[in-house]
Structure 1
Amino acid sequence: MEEKKLLELKPQGLYCPQADVFIDPWKPVDKAVITHAHSDHFRWGMKHYLAHHHSENVMKLRLGQDISLQTIGYGESLEINGVKLSFHPAGHIPGSAQIRLEYKGKVAVVSGDYKLEDDGLSVPFEPVRCHEFISECTFGLPVYKWEAQDEVFGKINKWWKNNAENNRNSVIFAYSLGKAQRVLNHLDASIGEVFVHGSVWNTNQALIANQVKVLDAPKVTAEMPKSKFKGAIIIAPPSAIGSSWMKKFAPYRTAVCSGWMSVRGTRRRRAVDSGFVLSDHADWEGLISAIKGTGAEKVFLTHGSTAVFGRYLEEVEKIHAVELKTLFQGESSSLDED
Structure 2
Amino acid sequence: MADMVVVRKDGLYCVPGGFYIDPWRPVERAVITHAHGDHARAGHGHYLSAASGVNVLKSRLGQNIRIDGIEYGARIEHNGVAISLHPAGHVLGSSQVRLEHKGEVWVASGDYKVEPDRTCAPFEPVRCDTFITESTFGLPIYRWQPEQSIFDDINAWWRGNAAAGRCSVVFAYSFGKAQRILSGLDAAIGPIVCHGAVEPLNRVYRAAGVNLPPTVLVTDIDKQALRSAIVIAPPSVSGSPWMKRFGDYSDSFASGWMLLRGARRRRGVDRGFVLSDHADWPGLMTAIRATEAPRVIVTHGSIAVMVRWLRQLGLDASGFDTEYGDDEAEAAAAADGADGAEGANTPLEKTDA
Q: TM-score, normalised by structure 2?
A: 0.91
Deviation at 1:206, TM superposition (A): 2.2
Whether 1:314 aligns to 2:327 is no
Pick the aligned partner of 2:265 from 265, 268, 290.
268
In structure 2, the partner of 1:189 is 187
Q: Give the whole-Å Cα distance in 2 for the aligned partners of 1:212 and 1:157.
A: 20
Q: Give the whole-Å Cα distance in 2 for the aligned partners of 1:330 and 1:122.
A: 24
Pick the aligned partner of 1:52 from 45, 50, 53.
50
Q: Give the whole-Å Cα distance in 2 for the aligned partners of 1:37 and 1:267.
A: 27
Identify if the C-alpha distance between structure 1 residues 5 and 310 changes in structure 2 by more than 3 Å, giving closer, same or farther: closer
Identify if the C-alpha distance between structure 1 residues 331 and 187 changes in structure 2 by more than 3 Å, giving closer, same or farther: farther
Whether the 8 Å CA contact 1:181–1:215 is kept in 2: the answer is no
Identify if the C-alpha distance between structure 1 residues 107 and 138 changes in structure 2 by more than 3 Å, giving closer, same or farther: same
Whether the 8 Å CA contact 2:167–2:230 is kept in 1: the answer is yes
Question: For structure 1, which segment, 202-211 or 183-192, has the greater mean C-alpha deviation from structure 2 after superposition?
Answer: 202-211
Identify if the C-alpha distance between structure 1 residues 224 and 157 changes in structure 2 by more than 3 Å, giving closer, same or farther: closer
Deviation at 1:54, TM superposition (A): 1.9
Deviation at 1:213, TM superposition (A): 3.4
Partner deviation per Cα, 1:216-242 (whole Å, 9 max, x = no partner): 412222x64322312110101111111
Cα RMSD for the two superposed structures = 1.6
Whether the 8 Å CA contact 2:137–2:278 is kept in 1: the answer is yes
Q: Give the whole-Å Cα distance in 1 for the aligned partners of 2:105 and 2:327.
A: 27
In structure 1, the partner of 2:133 is 135
Deviation at 1:215, TM superposition (A): 3.2
In structure 2, the partner of 1:70 is 68
Pick the aligned partner of 1:232 from 225, 229, 232.
229
Whether the 8 Å CA contact 1:54–1:211 is kept in 2: the answer is no
Question: For structure 1, which segment, 128-137 or 225-234, has the greater mean C-alpha deviation from structure 2 after superposition?
Answer: 225-234
Q: Give the whole-Å Cα distance in 2 for the aligned partners of 1:101 and 1:66.
A: 27
Deviation at 1:267, TM superposition (A): 1.6
Give runs of ≥4 in structure 1 deviating > 4 Å: 330-336
Whether the 8 Å CA contact 1:170–1:253 is kept in 2: the answer is yes
In structure 2, the partner of 1:28 is 26
Whether the 8 Å CA contact 1:36–1:95 is kept in 2: the answer is yes
Whether the 8 Å CA contact 1:53–1:210 is kept in 2: the answer is no
In structure 1, the partner of 2:121 is 123
5+ residue gaps in structure 2?
334-348
Partner deviation per Cα, 1:84-108 (whole Å, 9 max, x = no partner): 1000000000100000000111000
In structure 2, the partner of 1:201 is 199
**AA of the residue aligned to 1:292:** R
Q: Give the whole-Å Cα distance in 1 for the aligned partners of 2:212 and 2:128.
A: 33
Aligned residues: 334
**AA of the residue aligned to 1:108:** W
Identify if the C-alpha distance between structure 1 residues 254 and 146 changes in structure 2 by more than 3 Å, giving closer, same or farther: same
Question: For structure 1, which segment, 155-164 or 322-331, has the greater mean C-alpha deviation from structure 2 after superposition?
Answer: 322-331
Q: Give the whole-Å Cα distance in 2 for the aligned partners of 1:211 and 1:42.
A: 23
Percent identity at matched positions? Answer: 50
Identify if the C-alpha distance between structure 1 residues 228 and 55 changes in structure 2 by more than 3 Å, giving closer, same or farther: same
In structure 2, the partner of 1:14 is 12
Partner deviation per Cα, 1:32-75 (whole Å, 9 max, x = no partner): 00000000000011000001122212211212111101111111
Question: For structure 1, which segment, 111-120 or 58-67, has the greater mean C-alpha deviation from structure 2 after superposition?
Answer: 58-67
**AA of the residue aligned to 2:69:** T
Deviation at 1:20, TM superposition (A): 1.0
**AA of the residue aligned to 1:322:** S
Q: Give the whole-Å Cα distance in 2 for the aligned partners of 1:4 and 1:303.
A: 23
**AA of the residue aligned to 1:78:** I
**AA of the residue aligned to 2:228:** G
Q: Which structure 2 residues correspond to residues 80-99 of structure 1 after superposition, within 5 A?
A: 80-99=78-97
- Partner SS, residue 171 of structure 1: strand
Q: Give the whole-Å Cα distance in 2 for the aligned partners of 1:173 and 1:332.
A: 17
